[in-house]
A and B are shown apart, each in its own frame.
Chain A
Amino acid sequence: MDRPLIIGVFTNEHDIVGAVKETRASGYNIYDVYTPYAVHGLDEAMGLKPSRLTYVCFLFALLGLATAIVTQFWIGSIDWPLNVGGKPFNSLPAYLPVAFELTVLFGGLGVVFVMLFRSKLFPGKKERSIHPRVTDDRFVLVLEVSDAVTDENIVRSLWENYSVEEVSRMEEMA
């Protein structure tokens, strides 16, 4: 993030969704939007692509399933076949509970770690705060200064329809 940023501060979710839609319709690229909660429909307004994390979750779940099945078969039939009540060594039905649990465990932990990694979230990370009240009650729309947007006055009039509270230029993110 080398270029300066232009930020608009809004006070409610309907304004931010409207402003985002209109800003995009006018051809500007949105750098990011900061909100105190997950605003319904804002991801679509921003044009964010559906997350691929569902596939990540599926693959991890598959890995968990495979691990559980292979481990149980290897232990039960190859490494130390143990006669339990005359049942077959490779009794798949008995292996299903553990297989299910590991599927869920791997899928859940895997997708959480990938999400944290992808979003660069980790314990103790110093936050780069765009606005002090964004985790309280302000919605902030951020544009990067580019050829289309050279200064904040270009978008100010656009945002005023959505009762923007404050428009400012930020040289560098804190």
Chain B
Amino acid sequence: MSLRFSVLRKPLIHGDKSLAQVTDDVARPLETGPTTLWWSAFIISVAVLILGVVAVTYEIMTGIGTWGLNKTVGWAFDITNFVFWVGIGHAGTLISAILFLFRQRWRTSINRSAEAMTIFAVMCAGIFPLIHLGRPWLFFWIAPYPNLRGSLWVNFRSPLLWDFFAISTYFTISLVFWYIGLIPDMATLRDRATTKIKKVVYRLMSFGWTGSMRTWHRYEVVYLLLAALATPLVLSVHSIVSMDFATSVIPGWHSTIFPPYFVAGAVFSGFAMVLTLMIIARKVLRYEEYITIDHIEKMCKIVLVTGGIVALSYGIEMFMAWYSVNEYERFVFLNRALGPYAWAFWIMVACNVAIPQLLWIKKLRRSLVTVFIISIFINIGMWFERFVIIVTSLHRDFLPSSWVMYKPTIIEIATLAGSFGLFFTLFLLFARFIPFIAIGEVKGVLNYGRNAGKSVSLSTKTD
């Protein structure tokens, strides 16, 4: 008989909660009416979303010519946004799957909302390649299905097709993983529902969950398997996104470092977004005892590590450009740092390399205001990273007579804004109607780090 409890471990959940208190606390925002703050945030988000819908509708009715693309720069804003949003999604899967495999039990307070963020971010990302098709109603042509055109199949050697498979698999598996985690919580809400309509909806969503240990037993296995599948999946997704660039022969893109570099960047930007959202949410939803400063600090450490990998990758890219003695490669990197888009490059370096170094200081990692500001800088910096990679590699190509500058049109900017509108609309609806914290999982870690010997029955707990 050995005690699992160590005096060195701090409790993950503060406030000495009982099981029932956890249920009450998490369910509270769902059972009280929406606050004025929620309504104002929601109205702003929907307004921005409508702006995006208008821009996209105009673009689809008129054509891709409404964007600032030209014959030299064929990819720019749209693909930047796509890569940015897919990257945001990666933190959710890292928290839900990779931290689960590494038995980081603090993840239970944030995994539900981070996974929701993943799903919404991937939805935002999916819009961009779709509208870039120009004729988005023919999007299904990218699926390999027997058709009346031959059958004329898709090209399985194209990274763009790999992307289609990667993103759709990623979205499906993330959604299923998230929903499986949600079933026991839906049953909790069902059993405490006061109105008939709530009872019916939650019964529909809880799949008849009773809390039977025989079901839990299978459920746990499936949860572990999904985590094990999602882990290589998430690494593959941004690797494949990076291959959209890396398999081309464009200087600045044609690089074997791209897959790990993109994955680290994705996790880096995703955690910045998680931090941005959590710092607001814990305050607004009054979850400070669940999403504690320790959680914020741990996430800051992950930001620091992945940010370090990103900084190293920047350095290696520069070094390889010089070391390769390839004049085009060298030109592209000099042009990035000193050319007409140097401002974007230096914003990227400042936001992604310089500013995150502040997180080495413990005091700053534990200061919510500082972390919030740093997370916003990283979000901006990572957006610019994709912009720099895409636009600066294209705008001065092999033929100086076709060198141009790219400038986004108002339609493109409205579309980017609209994607943020969609993201925040969905996230606000999520916070309003679905338990923000995984009730069932938090209950499982409630005893973590609690003082042993408080209850006599604790001594029967064996390893």
Contacts and interface: CB of A to CB of B under 8 A. Distances in A.
> How many A residues are at the interface, by size bracket?
35 or more
B195 interface: no
Given A14-B461, A17-B461, A38-B220, A128 B210 contact: yes
B20 interface: yes
A124 B207 CA distance: 6
Interface of A: 12-15, 17-18, 32-43, 46, 48, 51, 53-54, 57, 61, 71-72, 75-76, 79-80, 82, 84, 87, 91, 94-95, 97-98, 100-102, 104-105, 107-109, 111-112, 115-116, 118-130, 132-137, 162-163
A121 B204 contact: no
A36 B183 CA distance: 12
Nearest to B155: A84
B187 interface: yes
B187 A46 contact: no
Given A115-B219, A136-B23, 14 more contacts: A14-B458, A41-B462, A75-B153, A97-B243, A101-B169, A104-B233, A105-B173, A107-B225, A108-B225, A108-B230, A109-B176, A121-B207, A123-B205, A134-B210
Given A104-B229, A111-B225, A32 B207 contact: no
Contacts of B440: 36-38
B165 A102 contact: yes
B18 interface: yes
B324 interface: no
12 contacts: A43-B213, A51-B218, A98-B156, A101-B165, A108-B173, A112-B180, A121-B208, A123-B205, A127-B190, A136-B191, A162-B457, A163-B457
B373 interface: no
Given A37-B443, A38-B440, A53-B218, A104 B208 contact: no
Contacts of A43: 213, 216-217, 220
Contact of A18 (B180, B243, B460): B460
Given A36-B19, A37-B441, A43-B213, A118 B162 contact: no
**B-side interface mostly:** helix
A131 to B, nearest CB: 9
Interface string B166-189: 100100110011001001100110
Contacts of A104: 169, 173, 229-230, 232-233, 236
Contact of A109 (B165, B172, B209, B461): B172
A97 B213 contact: no
A51 to B, nearest CB: 4
B36 interface: no
Contacts of B204: 123-124
A139 to B, nearest CB: 9
Contacts of A76: 153, 156
Per CB-CB distance, the 4 closest pairs between chain A and chain B, nearest first, are A125-B208, A137-B19, A97-B162, A121-B207
